[in-house]
Amino acid sequence: MTTSTEQSLGAEATAPEMGMAPIRREHRTVASYLLMPVFLALVCLGLYLYVQSKELDTIEQRALNASRLGTAGWEHVQLTIVSTIFVILIAIPLGVFLTRPFTRRFRGVLLTVANIGQALPTIGVLALFAVAFVFIGFKAAIVGLVAYTVLPVLRNTMVGLQQVDENVLEAGRGMGISKMGVLTRIELPLAVPIILAGVRTALVINVGTAALATYINAGGLGDIIVAGLSTNRLTVQITGAVLTAVLALLVDYLAGIAEDVLRPKGL
């Protein structure tokens, strides 16, 4: 080895690309971003052509018109979005709270409560509200959905915060960043990918489970499915089921884009 530091430095400066690892990010091509919407549009088109090809009786006509489907779909979207917003508002602050050193004592208790929430079947919770408290409609459905999906977001928030490199935090504290500053500027940004994965899970669960809200008169695409079931009209059932599935895939797709966009650079 030469002891001429200048010389070796020069050598490194002329080869700055050496030892440089490219940032590994899943750079999706535009084509792959378009794949899912095109697929979903084709499914909807196929469904439309299928329904058109059928001779509809009066019951089916009443169930399968644009305004009825539109209302049900919009109610479904509302149920999903509102419940997910509440989940985010509850689970993320709770996750932050439960990863602070001073909450070690009641961490276990709160996690158990959240676990119970997910262990209960949503349909059971909704039925319980309706029978025991005569609590039905949109708000009751939201409570049921939230209880069910707090856990995945809470768990991901906690895991996301706990996986942040201890040394990065020590460096931050050692430079005189306040505790709050370390949380908002280092811990949370570094936990974003994992928290977002939890939110995406919650969204998808909520889209699916919101189909049950029809049983407590909270609307949603479940209305169409149940109408088809109770009147024994297969076309109606298929329409409700396919639309629910399309909505779930669309929500998952949009959440995936949000994850890509919101993930901090450099990770």
Q: Which residues bind other proteins (CB under 8 A)?
A: 1-9, 13, 16, 18-23, 165, 167-178, 186, 189-190, 264-267
Which residue, 24 or 55, is less far from other proteins as judged by CB?
A: 24
Which residue, 105 or 265, is less far from other proteins as judged by CB?
A: 265
Which residue, 23 or 31, is less far from other proteins as judged by CB?
A: 23
Question: Least distance to other proteins from the beta carbon of 196, Å?
Answer: 14
Nearest to residue 203, comparing CAs of 91, 106, 115, 113? 91
Handedness of CA 213, 78, 111, 155 (dihedral sign): positive
Which residue, 102 or 133, is less far from other proteins as judged by CB?
A: 102
**Token pair 């040394």 is at which residue?**
167
Question: Least distance to other proteins from the beta carbon of 106, Å?
Answer: 21
Question: Least distance to other proteins from the beta carbon of 93, Å?
Answer: 21
Which residue, 23 or 49, is less far from other proteins as judged by CB?
A: 23
- Give the number of residues written for the chain: 267
Question: Least distance to other proteins from the beta carbon of 254, Å?
Answer: 24
Nearest to residue 203, comparing CAs of 65, 39, 79? 79
Question: Least distance to other proteins from the beta carbon of 235, Å?
Answer: 51
